[in-house]
């Protein structure tokens, strides 16, 4: 092939010669270039370490020997010194050709190809250079600070602000994932939206609405993306609102006359609770007094996605009082009024049988108000209506890890939650009116020993939130107040944004009113004339048809506005006048006389019947009346013959 190409080139002198490539030489050149780059990176690392920690000369010699060995076996020690000097000259030339500010001392230059270094414009791309010793020291310092800080000091409670929801119990609260907005709901049917960034120190909500009319709000929750809000009220239809409070979706109501709840399209009794799926943003869960739990899709409002029916130990239906998703979205847990806690696996195709169940979690007949999973997913906390707080291990669900008794609970939605560091459990205590202080109690997770008890208000503590990003605690009480606790040194944004803003001043309209000065001895020309009589005023009122209440004028024409001109203004008057004006009939009560009065006219001027019989029967023949036969009393009544 090469000979043929040479012959062709000889024949056609105008054509260019074909280029030949030596692949082995190219591979060898690439390998040498890579070795040189690695050597340069190692040398720069060594110089940085030498600048931080000086080393012995023997160590430097050893390192230089290793680098020279990596560069190639053909180079000698004398050649290495020459090559290093030549490389320094090349580096100085490349640095002089660079444009822009010099590289900072804490950054390493990015290794580039020597051939392409001259074409670089601007400063090189910085890469952060942190030694492993510095990282270890920083991590150790942070760990030491966290270990030294006690659990009580980790609670952000140095400052507080008060938001007024209403005058009735705050039964539902939710913070969006970013911590920018707070939504509250209560027994007064209202839902209020608070925006921390747009709110000033007056702490007023930017929107107030009643999404479910005259139904108490049971639960509120933001979706995982924060763009929708789930509203669960005392009716049978859950609603999904957008971020500004406008209705986006409403669940359908089921048929209450169907016995099998699986055959209905939705709930047919009062809702108790609801929550979003933490992994699927368009899916949420609700539970109701019809003894079912239903999964819904936001895009499909006319029917539920799937249904679960909790049952007691006798196989009969039981009412779920609260429901929750696990943090990984795998388990759906429900607490029922028979004292049991039941869980379903979301990964299974059919949600019929439970995955985990414990029949004796709380007292039978009590309403378990809250279930909460820990952030690590290993522990479940339950707040019972039997005044207890229990922790359960998901790996052995038969017995509780720890139990706290004597925590009064009067509300079916009293909260319990885990702290963001998973080391504390928080819940509230209910009190009767004017019988004590409602408290928010912090327990240690391992032993459930009390860490701190905060006095909130004179009423019960119902709802509580602890946002992990903001590190702020939001508490809703029975007197309609929402309190937010924070610490400027530990908390971020949230309530701290609106406390520094001054109240907005309302614009006042300045109106100059002319005052009338009355003097007893003023000139007559400046005196106000007082009315001496009311006759003229009464005449004006009389002429006004509205003030004088003038009756309707008679109708002129065929009639307008539903009024008839002929024979009365209305239909009833028309009927009455037509009856009164009608002439009386003398034969009204004598029908025989009314017929015979036309006999003479019929004989003189026959028209209907007589001309028809004029030829065949000119003289009319009438049937003679039969004489009634008198019945002879021939015997008793029971001996008479029966007819028919």
DSSP letter assigned to residue 261: G
Query: Using CA atoms, how far apart are residues 304 and 296, in angstroms rounded to an integer?
Result: 5
Residue 510's pLDDT is 57
Residue 137's pLDDT is 53
* Helix (H), strand (E) at residue 194: strand 191-195
> For residue 41, what are the contacts with CB-CB under 8 A and spacing of at least 6?
111
Locate 539 and state its tokens: 């005449």
Residues in the chain with pLDDT values less than 70: 1-18, 40-148, 506-532, 556-570, 627-644
326: helix, strand or coil? coil
> The tokens 């009346």 sit on which residue?
625
Are the C-beta atoms of residues 155 and 452 closer than 8 Å to each other?
yes
Residue 630's pLDDT is 57
Locate 52 and state its tokens: 């931080």
Query: Using CA atoms, how far apart are residues 488 and 617, in angstroms rounded to an integer?
Result: 127
Locate 313 and state its tokens: 């130990």
Sign, Cα dihedral of 113, 117, 119, 120? positive
Query: Using CA atoms, how far apart are residues 250 and 300, in angstroms rounded to an integer?
Result: 10
Are the C-beta atoms of residues 307 and 344 closer than 8 Å to each other?
no
pTM for the whole structure? 0.58
Query: Using CA atoms, how far apart are residues 164 and 181, in angstroms rounded to an integer?
Result: 15
Residue 586's pLDDT is 79
Long-range contacts (CB closer than 8 Å, 24 or more residues apart) made by 228-235: 228/298, 229/174, 229/183, 230/274, 230/275, 230/276, 230/284, 231/185, 231/191, 232/172, 232/271, 232/272, 232/273, 232/274, 232/286, 233/189, 233/271, 234/270, 234/271, 235/270, 235/271
Q: Where in 227-352 does DSSP place strands (E)?
A: 228-233, 239-242, 247-250, 271-276, 283-288, 293-297, 306-308, 320-325, 331-336, 341-345
Q: What distance lies between CA 301 and its chain's CA centroid?
A: 15
């Amino acid at each position: 092939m090469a000979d043929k190409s040479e012959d062709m080139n000889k024949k056609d002198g105008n054509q260019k010669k074909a280029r030949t490539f030596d692949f082995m030489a190219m591979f060898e050149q690439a390998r040498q270039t890579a070795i040189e780059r690695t050597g340069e990176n190692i040398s720069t690392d060594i110089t940085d370490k030498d600048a931080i920690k000086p080393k012995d000369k023997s160590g430097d010699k050893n390192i230089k020997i290793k680098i020279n060995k990596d560069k190639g076996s053909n180079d000698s020690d004398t050649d290495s010194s020459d090559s290093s000097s030549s490389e320094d000259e090349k580096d100085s030339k490349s640095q002089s050709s660079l444009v822009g500010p010099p590289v900072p001392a804490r950054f390493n230059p990015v290794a580039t190809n020597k051939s392409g270094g001259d074409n670089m414009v601007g400063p090189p791309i910085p890469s952060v250079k942190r030694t492993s010793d510095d990282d270890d020291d920083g991590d150790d310092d942070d760990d030491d600070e966290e270990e030294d800080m006690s659990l009580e000091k980790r609670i952000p409670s140095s400052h507080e602000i008060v938001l007024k929801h209403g005058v009735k119990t705050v039964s539902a609260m939710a913070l969006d994932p970013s911590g920018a907005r707070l939504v509250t709901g209560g027994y007064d049917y209202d839902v209020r939206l608070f925006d921390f960034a747009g709110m000033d120190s007056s702490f007023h909500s930017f929107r107030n609405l009643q999404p479910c009319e005259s139904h108490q709000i049971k639960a509120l929750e933001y979706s995982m993306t924060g763009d929708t809000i789930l509203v669960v009220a005392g009716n049978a239809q859950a609603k999904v609102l957008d971020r500004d409070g406008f209705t986006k979706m409403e669940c359908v109501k089921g048929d209450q006359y169907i016995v099998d709840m699986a055959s209905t399209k939705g709930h047919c009794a009062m809702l108790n609770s609801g929550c979003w799926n933490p992994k699927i943003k368009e899916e949420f869960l609700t539970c109701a007094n019809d003894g079912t739990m239903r999964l819904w899709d936001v895009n499909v409002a006319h029917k539920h996605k799937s249904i679960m029916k909790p049952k007691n130990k006798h196989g009969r239906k039981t009412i779920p009082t609260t429901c929750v998703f696990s943090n990984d979205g795998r388990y759906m847990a429900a607490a029922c009024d028979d004292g049991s806690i039941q869980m379903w696996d979301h990964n299974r195709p059919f949600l019929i049988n439970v995955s985990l169940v414990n029949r004796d979690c709380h007292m039978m007949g009590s309403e378990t108000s809250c279930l909460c999973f820990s952030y690590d997913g290993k522990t479940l906390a339950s707040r019972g209506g039997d005044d207890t707080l229990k922790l359960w291990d998901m790996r052995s669900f038969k017995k509780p890890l720890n139990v706290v008794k004597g925590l009064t609970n009067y509300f079916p939605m009293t909260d319990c939650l885990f702290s963001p560091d998973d080391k504390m459990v928080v819940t509230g205590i209910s009190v009767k009116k004017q019988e004590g202080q409602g408290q928010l109690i912090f327990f240690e997770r391992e032993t459930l020993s009390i860490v701190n008890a905060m006095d909130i208000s004179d009423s019960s503590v119902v709802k509580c939130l602890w946002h992990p990003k903001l590190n702020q605690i939001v508490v809703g009480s029975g007197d309609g107040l929402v309190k937010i606790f924070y610490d400027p040194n530990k908390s971020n944004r949230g309530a701290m944004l609106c406390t520094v803003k001054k109240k907005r001043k309302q614009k006042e309209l300045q109106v100059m009113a002319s005052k009338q000065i009355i003097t007893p001895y003023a000139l007559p020309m400046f005196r106000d004339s007082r009315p001496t009589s009311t006759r003229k005023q009464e005449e004006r009122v009389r002429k006004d048809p509205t003030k004088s209440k003038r009756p309707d004028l008679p109708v002129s024409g065929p009639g307008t506005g539903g009024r008839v001109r002929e024979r009365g203004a209305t239909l009833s008057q028309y009927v009455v006048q037509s009856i009164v004006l009608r002439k009386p009939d003398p034969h009204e009560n004598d029908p025989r006389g009314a017929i015979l009065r036309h006999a003479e006219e019929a004989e003189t001027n026959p028209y209907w019947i007589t001309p028809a019989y004029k030829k065949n029967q000119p003289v009319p023949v009438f049937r003679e009346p039969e004489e009634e036969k008198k019945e002879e009393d021939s015997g008793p009544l029971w001996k008479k013959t029966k007819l028919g």
